[in-house]
Amino acid sequence: MKKIVIIDDEPLARSIVIEYLQSQQDIEVVAECNNGYEGVKAIIQHKPDLVFLDIQMPKINGFEMLELLDTIPPVIFATAFDEFAIKAFEANAIDYLLKPFSKERFNAALTKFLSKKTEDRELDKNLQKLLDNSDKQTDEKNRIVVKNNSEITIVPVNDVFYIEAYDDYVKIFTKDTYHLKKKTMNYYEEVLDPALFFRVHRSFIINLQQLTRIEPLEKNSYIALLKSGKKIPLSRPGYSKLKEKLGI
C-alpha cells in the first residue's frame, strides 16, 4: 500500500486529487494539508511514498516547504505556473499537473511515478536540481524560511545582519540569534538583493545597512564594522569591490 500526502491550500484541488485516486488500488491518502506547515508535519509523521504538492500557498510556498525536510519524498507538483516555469519542470524530469488538469493527465503523472523502480534515485536527484534552480524565483529574495527541530521561523531579509559560511550550511545572523540553513554562500550571493547585501569575503555576506565603517586591521588588511559591533574580515578582492560599491 503506497501512502499519499496531499498539500494544497485549495479544498477543491485536494478533493479532485482524492476523487482521481479512488480508482487506484493499493493507494491510501494518509493526510490532507492546506499549508506548508501542516505538510512538513505530515511528511515527517507518515513518511509518504508520494506527495501531491501545490507551489503557491500562503505562509510558505511549496519549494520552501521541501527545503525544511531532511528527506524529500517523491513529488508531483500541482501548479498554476505559466509555460516558462512548466518548461523548467520538464527539463528537470519532475512531473507536474497544470491546473485545471484532467483525469487523463492526472493518471499519466501517477503512472510515471508508479513505473519507477524503488531503487531509482533519479527522482530525488532531479527534485534537488529543481530546488537549486527554481527557488531563486520564490519569496526567498524577501524572506528566509528556517527550521529548528519542530519550529519553523520566517526571517525577513531586512532583519539579517550578516551571513557566515559554516561547513555545508550557512549561519544567518539577526539581532539576537542566528539560524542554520543548508545552503551555500554562492546561493545567497545570487538570490539576495545586491543593493542590500554584499559578499566581502568568501565566508561572509553583510547587510550594507548594518555597515558603519571600514577599519584597517594590519598591513593591507581591513575589517567591516557593523552597527552591532561585529567585526567582519574583508578579503582583498572584497575590500576593493566594497570600496567601489560604496563609491569611496
Do 148 and 133 have their domain in common?
no
pLDDT classification of 128: cutoffs 50, 70, 90:
low
Distance, CA of 54 to CA of 5 (rounded, Å)? 11
Tell me, yes or no, whether 111 and 6 share the same domain.
yes
178 and 92, same structural domain? Answer: no
Range of the domain at 127: 2-137
CB atoms inside a 10 Å sphere around CB 4: 24
Tens digits of residue pLDDT in 163-197: 999 998 999 999 999 999 988 999 899 889 999 99
Element (H, E) at 18: helix 11-21
Last residue of a domain, one of 102, 137, 172: 137
Q: What is the pLDDT of residue 118?
A: 41
Question: Is residue 128 located within the same domain as residue 9?
Answer: yes
* Same domain membership, residue 10 and residue 132: yes
54 with 128, same domain? yes
pLDDT in tens, 2-42: 999 999 999 999 999 999 999 898 999 999 999 999 999 99
Q: Which residue has the higher pLDDT, 93 or 40?
A: 40
Furthest C-alpha separation in the chain: 74
Task: Assess whether 129 and 208 both reside in one domain.
Answer: no
Q: Report the sign of the C-alpha dihedral through residues 133, 239, 180, 142, in that order.
A: negative
Q: 119 pLDDT exceeds 50?
A: no
Structural domain count of the chain: 2
d(CA 120, CA 236): 46
From 137, 166, 190, give the residue that closes a domain.
137
pLDDT at 17: 96
Residues 6+ apart with CB under 8 A from 202: 165, 185, 235
Assign 126 a pLDDT band (cuts: 50, 70, 90).
Answer: low
d(CA 151, CA 71): 17
Q: Which one-letter amino acid corresponds to residue 176?
A: D
Sign of the dihedral through C-alpha 114, 115, 117, 123 = negative
Q: What angle do CA 71, 74, 77 make, to 5 degrees?
A: 120
pLDDT average, residue stretch 233-242: 94
The answer on 197 and 126 residing in a single domain is: no
Instruction: Give, in order, the Cα–Cα distances in Å from 172 to each of 184, 217, 230, 235, 242.
Output: 11, 25, 14, 20, 20
pLDDT at 134 exceeding the cut of 70: no
Looking at the fold, whether 30 and 151 belong to one and the same domain comes out as: no
Domain match, 123 and 204 both: no
> Which is nearest to 248 in space by CA: 217, 211, 218?
211
Residues 8 and 131 in one domain: yes
> For 194-238, where are the E strands, in sequence order?
197-201, 204-207, 211-218, 221-226, 231-234
Average of per-residue pLDDT across 209-221? 91
What CATH number should be reported for the domain holding residue 226?
2.40.50.1020
Strands, E, within 80-201: which ranges? 96-98, 143-148, 151-156, 162-166, 169-173, 178-181, 197-201
Instruction: Render pLDDT for 45-69 as a digit per residue (tens, 0 to 9).
Output: 999 999 999 988 888 888 889 889 8
CA 74 remoteness from chain centre: 16
* pLDDT of res. 91: 46
Query: Distance of alpha carbon 216 from its chain centroid, rounded?
Result: 37
- Sign of the Cα pseudo-torsion (125, 130, 136, 140, in order): negative
In the chain, the percentage of residues whose pLDDT exceeds 90 is: 58
* H or E segment and range at residue 188: helix 185-191
Residues 183 and 205 in one domain: yes
